Chains A and B, each alone.
Chain A
């Protein structure tokens, strides 16, 4: 990897965009949070555990987690038609799987925990920002959890490994082009709970990309913890 590779916004290869995290942004919700990577802003609300209807969807052995992810219509330059799409359906489902290993829902049979994630402003990495927000919102809602889930996109521009790609970097088309690899993991273990990739990466590069994401996730984890603690300090 060439040391001189310049990212469009001048970041180092392993440098995340400036992040913001805030817990308790939606008073109506049982838990809520905002998380942003640079210009990508996600908010998440958690409602539940609450009674699940229709009844046939209930699981008598545990509560279920139900995630919904979508872009707001004005979060992108070309207005996004409101309502679910194949893309948002897929992301909702993989988000659910990314979060599930972190939560204990055995104490809440027949209930549902609804996680609503919306993107206010999109500049790549929306699903990962959404997972970070949702993980904080679940903790804020007091759902029993064994860990927080941290998520980041890593990838490549040509042969250069980079972390937290912007839209411009996702669209990079020189050399080997762009690789975009969304990863989520439990903060304090080796468990990887989300993997979605597009691009061109040699098999031997994948472990390096994962290592890069592990490093980034530990930074994200600190920001999530800080935001959660500050809410407790305020006595909410």
Chain B
């Protein structure tokens, strides 16, 4: 039942409600749902987190391996973000090769994290030009009730923050059973948050439920960070065939700093 397409009836109802700044769950158009975070989803991972935004739930794990550096960045460690939209999480998801959504999600998180400078990749070098840490972030939605990208970004940030480096021997063989107290070289000052704006008619909303997301025509996702008290847009990607106007984008630019500060405050206790 939950896999049925959203009807025009629902779409029109939502538009009428948006006009009065209302939503089915009584939030304002730009309000996020309740956010809850917990840690250590798996003690086999070097770091992990579970994020719930309303009924949406995402788990994120960080694994660390020792690799050769990429030939074009010998003085840097590697960052890889991957994940899958498991059929476990929604009747919409199917097994098999990844569809566009499954490809896009980790790529957006990768770009938000890289762009923010949250990880200092140059400090992941173990032996210059030969051995570096590769940080692998894996994202798995457990229950999709909309806004997976923003939830995944929070999960990735928290999983990185609570990751500990494992021990390794002189042959660079890792002993995953022995975690050290050493943390990843993360910036104290900055990390990214993702904000996905969804558009239905002339209305722009944040943090849609699955139903709202399905009813919306198009999406614009931003990766935002705060550095030296300045908000920075680190990444952006539009999804869908309906265009945005420059007016709408200007409006989003006014919303972003306020919303970032608000969400940042709510997440403080988890970081």
Q: Footprint of B on A, CB under 8 Å? A: 78, 86, 89-90, 93-94, 96-97, 100-101, 181, 185-186, 190-204, 206-207, 210-211, 214
**13 A/B residue pairs, CB under 8 Å, sorted by A:** A90-B103, A94-B239, A191-B244, A192-B244, A193-B241, A194-B238, A197-B235, A197-B237, A198-B114, A198-B115, A200-B227, A202-B232, A207-B253
> How many angstroms from the CA of A147 to the CA of B103 in the assembled complex?
30
B22 adjacent to chain A (CB < 8 Å): no
Inter-subunit contact B236/A90 (CB<8 Å): no
Chain B 203-225 interface mask (CB, 8 Å, partner A; 1/0): 00000000000000000100000
Q: Is the Cβ of A97 less than 8 Å from the Cβ of B234?
A: no
Q: Known contacts A78-B72, A90-B104: does B232 contact A197 (CB below 8 Å)?
A: no
Residues of B within 8 A of A190 (CB): 245-247
Contact A193 B243 (CB under 8 A): yes
Q: Is the Cβ of A202 less than 8 Å from the Cβ of B230?
A: yes
- Please report the C-alpha to C-alpha distance between residue A92 and residue B55 in the assembled complex, in whole angstroms: 32
B233 A201 Cβ-Cβ under 8 A: yes
- Asked whether any CB of chain A lies closer than 8 Å to the CB of B130, the reply is no
- Residues A198 and B107 in contact in the complex (CB < 8 Å), given A97-B240, A186-B243: no
Q: Tell me the complex Cα distance, A214–B111, Å.
A: 25
Q: Is B79 an interface residue (CB 8 A)?
A: no
Distance in angstroms between the alpha carbons of A204 and B61 in the assembled complex: 35
Contact, CB under 8 Å: A86 / B107: yes
Instruction: Tell yes or no: B256 within 8 A of A by CB.
Output: yes
CB-contact partner of B238 in A86, A195, A206, under 8 A: A195
The A-contacting residues of B in range 148-169, CB under 8 angstroms, are: none
Q: Does B238 lie within 8 Å of A200, measured CB to CB? A: no
A34 to B237, CA, bound (A): 26
Q: Which of B107, B236, B243, B246 contacts A197 (CB 8 A)?
A: B236
The smallest beta-carbon distance between B260 and chain A, in angstroms, is 9
Q: What residues on A are CB-neighbors of B254 within 8 Å?
A: 203
Q: By DSSP majority rule, is chain B's interface helix, strand, loop, or mixed?
A: mixed
Residues of B within 8 A of A89 (CB): 100, 103
Decide if the interface of chain A is mainly helix, strand, loop or mixed. Answer: mixed
Residues in B with CB closer than 8 Å to A199 are 115, 233-235
Q: A200 CB to closest chain B CB, in angstroms?
A: 5
**How far is it, in angstroms, between the C-alpha of A206 and the C-alpha of B248 when the chains are bound?**
12
Contact yes or no, B257 A207, CB < 8 A: no
Minimum Cβ distance to chain B for residue A83 (Å)? 13
A206 adjacent to B243 (CB under 8 Å): no
Q: Across the interface, which residues of A come within 8 angstroms of B247, CB to CB?
A: 190
For the complex formed, measure the closest distance between the CB of B108 and the CB atoms of chain A, giving whole angstroms: 10
CB atoms of A101 and B111 under 8 A apart: no
Q: Does B34 contact A (CB under 8 A)?
A: no
A100: chain B residues at CB < 8 Å are 241
Least CB distance from A167 to B in Å reads 12
Alpha-carbon distance A100/B217, docked complex (angstroms): 13
B250 at the interface (CB under 8 A from A): yes
The residue in chain B whose Cβ has the minimal distance to the Cβ of A194 is B238
A191 touches B249 (CB 8 A): no
Q: How far is the CB of B104 from chain A (nearest CB, A)?
A: 6
Across-interface contacts of B233 in A (CB, < 8 A)? 197, 199-203, 206
Given A89-B100, A197-B235, A201-B233, are A206 and B253 also a contact pair (CB < 8 Å)? yes
CB nearest neighbor in A for B256: A203
CB A176 to nearest CB in B, in angstroms, measures: 8
Measured CA separation A97–B247 after assembly (Å)? 20
